Structure 1
Amino acid sequence: MRTRLILAGLAVSALGLAGTLLLNARDPDGGGMAPRAPVAGPDVTPAQGADAWLDVNDPRPPALWLVRRTHRFSESSEDMRVEQVSALLTGAERAYHENRRMIANRVAQIVDVTGEHGTPLLPEKILADLALPEEVGRQWLGIVAQAYIELRRSGRAHDEAVQMVRQRVGEGVTRK
């Protein structure tokens, strides 16, 4: 009984510490979690201010926010792109545990990382390439995105990083 009480106390302490760390990681304006500042590549200026992160209180639809955030990299019409990104976000909601807004934030983070390595990829490409088959079960996009980002930062090209992430997902390495 005493061991259980000690373990319970440790668990509560750990949760309190985690909560404190999360609260301290919030952005200074009180919005969502502060994103890591992207590094500008030769063809990209990272989104600043309101476009850096889609806050939980932001009224814009995630698809519209993603398209407008990357408009300078595409010559397609905004309406057509919003429709395509919206459909891809719907598919991503089935493949990942995160909600539409968080998926959009993760995709924006990946757009910024691809910009570190040249011309940023469009959200449409990222969402399509990181779409998962139903048979692998729902995943956490945060884990998949981090695996992709680390592979890109270690010198892998986009297609190679996507292939490696898909292989890891299929083997169950990215599940938590």
Structure 2
Amino acid sequence: MRCLLLSALALTVSLTACNHGDEEANAEQAVVARTSETDLPAWLTHSDGTDPGRWLAGREAGHPLALNAPQVQAMRGSLARAAEGFVEDRRMIANRTVQLGQMLGEVGKDEAYGTLLDGFAQIAAPRGRHKSLYGEMCQHYFNIRTRGLGHEATLAELSVNEMRPLTRSTP
């Protein structure tokens, strides 16, 4: 019996030590908000304090830009107009725009981020209580572009379809 109690005590101590070590490891890996002025993260995370418009303009330029740079101001405006018609927040819209830009670049169909945002904003302009899903619009845009249509023709096709399957009512 005494041997069993000592074994149970040893197991408890070792599990406590392991759990304490896990807590320390998890604390080291905890996500911390950042607002770097000198580098551009690959993607914006939920806790990232980076301004999505500034990040997106910097990604397009290939380097960080000043807060008051004309490209940043223009991108913020494009992002704000797009955000009005989509369910996703500005951070997610910015991430999806970069993702779409990379996909288009891989097939030789580069588009400026602001051009994409402004085109999508025109299609998804708020229609009562309905907002569009940005990620799905990006996928449809990419699929149409890979069929050979240009930017304007692709936007026209998306507009004609009115993106009905891509809408969701908001409360």
TM range (shorter): 0.5 to 0.7
Given the superposition, is the C-alpha separation of residues 95 and 81 from structure 1 closer, same or farther in structure 2, using an over 3 Å criterion? same
The secondary structure found in structure 1 opposite 2:111 is coil
Which residue is 1:18 aligned to? none
Give 4+ residue runs of structure 1 displaced > 4 Å after superposition.
none
Unaligned runs of 5+ in 1: 1-28, 32-48, 73-77
Residue pair 2:119, 2:155 contacting (<8 A) in 1 also: yes
- AA aligned to 2:160 is Q
Q: Which amino acid aligns with 1:113?
A: M
Matched, 1:173 2:165: yes
Q: 1:142 aligns with which of 115, 126, 135?
A: 135
Which residues of 2 match residues 152-171 of structure 1 at below 5 A? 152-168=145-161, 170=162
Equivalences, count: 126
Between structure 1 and structure 2, the one with the greater Rg is 2
Give SS of 1:126's match. helix
Which of 36, 50, 56 lines up with 2:46 in the alignment? 56
Q: Give the secondary-structure state (helix, strand or coil) at the position aligned to 1:138.
A: strand
Structure 1 residues 172 and 60, CA gap change in structure 2 (3 angstroms): same
- Over the matched positions of the two proteins, sequence identity in percent amounts to 24
Superposition pairs of residues 1-176 of structure 1, within 5 angstroms: 50-51=41-42, 53-72=43-62, 79-118=69-108, 120-131=110-121, 132-135=124-127, 137-168=130-161, 170=162, 172-175=164-167
Change (3 A) 1:171 1:111: closer
Structure 2: distance between partners of 1:107 and 1:116: 14
Q: CA RMSD in A?
A: 2.8
Q: Deviation per CA, 1:33-85, whole angstroms, max 9, x where unpaired?
A: xxxxxxxxxxxxxxxx932x22223221111111111105xxxxx71111111
Shift of 1:157: 2.1
Name stretches of at least 5 consecutive residues in structure 2 with no aligned partner.
1-28, 32-39, 63-67
> How far, CA to CA, are the matches of 2:152 and 2:135 in structure 1?
19
